[in-house]
Amino acid sequence: MKTPRRRKVTAGPIRVYALSILLAMLGCEALFTLQAMLVYREPAIIPLGLVMPAAVGLLFGLAIAKIKVLSRDLAVRGVTDSLTGIHNRLWCTARLEAETYRSKRYGEELAAIAFDIDEFKKTNRVYGHQAADVVLVEVAALMQGKDRDSDILARWGGEEFVRLLPNTSLEGATAVAARMRKAIEEHDFSSAEVVTCSFGVTVLRPETDSQESFMGRADEALSQAKEQGRNRVVALP
């Protein structure tokens, strides 16, 4: 009896190479790896001329997949505060521009809350830099838990944070800030005995405000809260 002849799956070098690259460009790492390995069912009969194209295609695809992962990672890092894990000022500024445009075009209200940690320099001095960093992380996590889906929370810089509230009136934003203030005051922080925050609240004036004047007014309200004794909310229309 004759031994059945093993049938070779037909595929030329160009086809192997092109398919590997195509799958790689699509990000299908598992698929193009499998394709490169199983172009021929019997490894013993793979022509030498096809080994190099398949290998190059595989390596090229792996490199592209790695670049995509790194690019996504860099994109996330670019808009994320490395300490607290929430969004940073760069991301918040971009969202501020978009929300300001939306508010002016469609007549929707837009509120902003600027807040920072009271006497943060003293916290640094008394408890140390690492303990102060822990306070920042805990404040960010606590405030992130208070977000609505539409709200935009970011670390503005240092110990200051910003929360944008689309479709929210001055009264509504002031009530939100009051709840945030109370949550921080009542929270049992792990690295400091007492932590409080001051809050400045304002709303966009669609006819006259720029992004700078809008956020400047929130900062002014925050400054007034500090001057009035800290751990309080001040709203400016």
Q: Which residues are catalytic?
A: 159
Tell me the backbone φ, ψ of residue 222, rounded to 5 degrees: -65, -45
- Rounding to the nearest 10 degrees, give the CA dihedral for residues 123, 233, 81, 187: 60
Whether residue 83 contacts residue 157, with contact meaning beta carbons closer than 8 Å, is answered with: no
Q: What is the distance, to the nearest Å, from the Cα of residue 179 to the centroid of all Cα atoms in its chain? A: 24
- What's the CA gap between 148 and 151, in Å, rounded? 5
Nearest to 222 by CA among 184, 181, 182: 181
Three-state DSSP state, 132? helix
Residues with Cβ within 8 Å of residue 202, at least 6 apart in sequence: 111, 112, 170, 214, 217, 218, 221, 235, 236, 237
Residues with Cβ within 8 Å of residue 174, at least 6 apart in sequence: 201, 233, 235
Show the tokens assigned to 27.
Answer: 């990000």
